[in-house]
A and B are shown apart, each in its own frame.
Chain A
Amino acid sequence: MYAFDYHRPKSLRQAVNLLAKVEDAKLLAGGHTLLPTMKQRLAAPANIIDLNGIAELAGIERKGRAVVIGAMTRHADVAESPIVQEAIPALAELADQIGDPQVRNRGTIGGSIANNDPAADYPAACIALGATIITNKRKVPAEEFFTGLFETALEEGEIITRVSFPLPSKAAYMKFPNPASRYALVGVFVAKRGAEVRVAVTGAGADGVFRVGAMEEALKARFSPKSLEGIKVPSKGLNSDIHADADYRAHLIGVMARRAVANATGKA
């Protein structure tokens, strides 16, 4: 890891000012993506702005028909939160499947979303549940936030402060983890809210998280695993690597989606 200067702001406002002032800065949240990347010298920021001293960025609250989670909230805290478990159990279950216990004790929702790893879990939940990503500057619908491989709509000087998840009437996440890394080989988040149904897939897309329109239409007509029978996801545009080729990933999307719907309707 190359040398850098370290800053530890105590408030969001201080962090925003620092980010505007110091050159070549990176925000540090849980560090479970950034520090490994810096060790490999794939990133070498001149300045690190550590968000760990900013209490206002962590926490979970129920706000009307939504659950709002602070950017610095650790995966373990989302998994164990009685508020999340009651309002959106699928989201608590998703958080509980990220990496391993030590990763969950450090990693944060803000860091995961900002990073937009194509195999990360949270992006699928954000898209399927129709979340809003709240920054120090604006509110961005999840749909517009994830823009490609490790790419997001975040601009210079922008810090994620919170993520707001509207409550679904039914939802479930099914993940086929890579047995070594625990990242998703394929993960499917299915959510129903009113007449709207969304199916979001992570781990498979070469450009990151995406929706499966054909499945959503079928599920709108009837929300049942049976509705998905026969629907094939094209393997074009899916990842192929030593862990799984595109055809296998396409197949897994179907399997995981059916299981997710079964789980969401309580027929798992």
Chain B
Amino acid sequence: MVKVRMATPVLQQNDEVARENRKLFRKKGLFVLNLMSSPGSGKTSILERTIEKLSSRLKLGVIEGDIYTTKDAERIEKFGIAVVQINTAGACHLDARMVQPALDDLDLNDLDLLIVENVGNLVCPAEFDLGEDARAAVLSVAEGNDKPAKYPLVFRESQVVLINKIDLLPHTDCDIDQLEKDLKLINHQLKLFRVSARLDQGFEPWVQWLEEQVNLKKKLSASQ
């Protein structure tokens, strides 16, 4: 009998492709955001509000990850920006190898900001590096205060959490201050934004943050 030591990470292949994607984004000076949440927290709605505010200032592109449908991509297309659909055909997350060919369908030279809407799932998208610059998680107040404790990884691995549907606060038992404290315990560097995509509230600080990141990335890649 032979014993063979491996110690190779299971996600090595994904991480290699993610590195290639990241290299390409750096070359193009393009800031890429991975948007994650459980189904229905409001990723697409937040995208819509974000596009409305930023499309006059920045050139935006969107990649829509969905298990089977093109519904979200159709919502984004209405804004007249570049959108590519990835159907994961059952897979519950996007990985770097799915994103790579989708990039060929976008004119990256003509974009400042690329937002990837991941498959609605709070569990495994956080394990898969796509090559993005930052991750933003959406958590709606209707989901319950226990979500950070149940799904800590996605919040640990994100830079931003958008707490959405604050218009529903009077109708839920959500303690939003406690929710923010719990999130900070998992990741004290998190930037937190309270928003309502329905009422179009709270978006200004968020889009400002995004615009700053886009400009930083441009400077960084120009100086290389």
Mutual binders A and B: no
